[in-house]
Structure 1
Amino acid sequence: MLTGLFVPLITPFDREDRVALDAVEALADQVLADGATGLVALGTTGEPGALTPAEQRAVLNLTARVCHERGAQLLIGANSPEALRDAAGRGATAALTLVPPFLRPGEEGVVAYFTKVAAESPVPLVVYDIPYRTGQHLSAATLRRLAALPNVIGVKHAPGGVTDDTVDLLADPPAGFAVLGGEDAFLSPLLALGGHGGILASAHVATSRFVELIEAWEKGDLTAVRALTGPLGALSRALFAEPNPTVIKGVLHAQGRIPTAEVRLPLLPASAAHVEEAVRRATALG
């Protein structure tokens, strides 16, 4: 069972538009030191589509090494047989595999697709369910069918908030199937319903506070939950005020943690106003 906080790492760039691997390593070390269970490499937040194959390999090699050295879990964004083999070869805990985007194959098609992929994959799968990007809604009933597949161990649940299907799924959760929140601002409601943790880009910032929130729900410490839910929700909203990860990069650069706030097309850097608001929220959290 996957539990706790996973941070989907950004890919920082230097002033020559090269991947700043030293900054990747520093970020990885810091979020793990601050209590994250593991990392996600080459997730959406890492801008994988804008990286060359060589850059992708460099990021994977580095994150795999850091997780191995620290005894941390590693999820790798992988959506092809070759990528799944690469994930297994690097000792990944699981592959974060997207519901087939754009085609909108229907829920039966999604189940058939994951049945085939899971049977052939050398590494367990975490289904990435994000219908506002893929165009494909998945019901709670379909998520249960996916959970029943051998080699499928969880879902990154990002339907845009807490939906009727979220409530339905967690009212009778599949055994051994991790429901990890992928909507940062809605982490606390998901945990209240019985979610198992989160894959949260916002946790680049105030990592230890997100860890505290997850642990507070596990312990039933509602005083801590109430103290953290509002500020962390506000921070997440501020960090997602523009397309991910533009504001996050702006904040990390302002904090001196990455060499530039640059992103690659089709993304554009975040506005100064949104970065300043997110920095203010982060500073208030300590």
Structure 2
Amino acid sequence: MTLSGLFVPMITPFDRSDAVDLDGLTKLAGQVLDDGATGLVALGTTAEPSALTAAEKRDVLDVVSAVCRERRAPMIVGANTPDELGHLADRPEAVAALTLVPPFVRPGEAGVVAYFERTAQLSPVPLVVYHVPYRTGQPLSASALRDIAAIPDIAGFKYAVGGIDATTMEFLADPPPVAILGGDDQFISPLLALGAHGGIMASAHLATRAFAELIADWRPGLGHRLARLAATLFAEPNPTVIKAVLHAHGRLQTPAVRLPLIPASVTALTAAGAAEAAVAEA
């Protein structure tokens, strides 16, 4: 299985009582698929999973599963523990689990490879390895990335190293036969130019059609405009600005996030709105 195209990691909307707005999530998920997204990601970082209860996580997963089942769209699910992975066994919409390189402990490259060997054995679905070293504290060489890619049932990578560095160039010069999905929204255009198969992009809650068009038919001009939009949407912690813009458009009841996140500033909202308008007008 090679994953490709645009996957949108869904936010978790909250209503005015701070409960999860499941109806709002259903509508938003359906809209991004209608606007050209290939599939959805449930319970990724953008969903604020650490701020959700176990029951809320189940509810969110049920909603995203139902939307993907109705639209015949693939779903990737953020899952890092044996218990979380086990819950995917009876969800046919789940084509892969998005599993983070072990954070904070910095086990070294050999430890990361061993971890994914074991985790892939335990998982009922293939894994998309989430490589985001500026968050996990664990860099990986091109050689280590290829070792991970060679593990059975590794479907690919969400590749988010914070830019286009020497390791990226080396890795993509001789890529393994798995999916490379860009995870840094601002750098999706150059990563596509280097051969990435698509992206997992929170920014694509907005300008979804344009992001889908960029992946289907890469063009630098569109890529530059979308990079500016992504930069404004990530100017403050994700997903605060995205929620603020969606609320301003009437697509969410509230722009609320849960602590430790705080709502986006008016300055960030204004800048994101201008960048979004520039994409729409081009």
Which TM-score band (shorter chain)?
over 0.9
User: Corresponding residue for 2:83?
Assistant: 82
Q: Which residue of 234, 237, 247 maps to 2:231?
A: 237
User: Corresponding residue for 2:39?
Assistant: 38
User: Corresponding residue for 2:248?
Assistant: 254
- What's the RMSD between the two structures over aligned residues? 0.7
Structure 2 counterparts to residues 98-113 of structure 1, below 5 A: 98-113=100-115
User: Corresponding residue for 1:28?
Assistant: 29
Q: Does 1:188 align with 2:182?
A: no
Q: What letter is aligned with 2:88?
A: A
User: Corresponding residue for 2:8?
Assistant: 7
Between the aligned partners of 1:21 and 1:168, the Cα distance in structure 2 is: 43
User: Corresponding residue for 2:139?
Assistant: 137
User: Corresponding residue for 1:222?
Assistant: none
Following superposition, the deviation at residue 90 of structure 1 comes to 1.6
Between the aligned partners of 1:226 and 1:117, the Cα distance in structure 2 is: 38
| 1:179-227 Cα distance to aligned partner (Å, 9 max, x none) | 000010100100010000000000000000001111113xxxxxxx133
User: Contact 1:84 / 1:95 at 8 angstroms: preserved in 2?
Assistant: yes
Following superposition, the deviation at residue 47 of structure 1 comes to 0.1
User: Contact 1:61 / 1:90 at 8 angstroms: preserved in 2?
Assistant: no
User: Contact 1:115 / 1:149 at 8 angstroms: preserved in 2?
Assistant: yes
Q: What letter is aligned with 2:18?
A: D
User: Corresponding residue for 2:216?
Assistant: 215
User: Contact 2:41 / 2:77 at 8 angstroms: preserved in 1?
Assistant: yes
Partner SS, residue 89 of structure 2: helix
Q: What letter is aligned with 1:15?
A: R
| 1:254-285 Cα distance to aligned partner (Å, 9 max, x none) | 01000101100000001011011101111222
Between the aligned partners of 1:15 and 1:280, the Cα distance in structure 2 is: 27
User: Contact 2:189 / 2:220 at 8 angstroms: preserved in 1?
Assistant: no
Following superposition, the deviation at residue 88 of structure 1 comes to 2.6
| 1:9-50 Cα distance to aligned partner (Å, 9 max, x none) | 000101100000111111100110011110000000000000
Q: What letter is aligned with 1:197?
A: G
Runs of at least 5 residues in structure 1 that lack an aligned partner in the other structure: 218-224
User: Contact 2:241 / 2:269 at 8 angstroms: preserved in 1?
Assistant: yes
Identity of aligned residues (%): 60
> TM-score, normalization: structure 1?
0.96
Between the aligned partners of 1:105 and 1:226, the Cα distance in structure 2 is: 38
User: Corresponding residue for 2:264?
Assistant: 270
Q: Does 1:205 align with 2:206?
A: yes
Partner SS, residue 276 of structure 2: helix
Q: What letter is aligned with 1:116?
A: R
Between the aligned partners of 1:245 and 1:87, the Cα distance in structure 2 is: 25
User: Corresponding residue for 1:148?
Assistant: 150
| 1:54-110 Cα distance to aligned partner (Å, 9 max, x none) | 100000001011101101010000001111111232221000000001100001000
Runs of at least 5 residues in structure 2 that lack an aligned partner in the other structure: none
User: Contact 1:127 / 1:152 at 8 angstroms: preserved in 2?
Assistant: yes
Partner SS, residue 76 of structure 2: strand
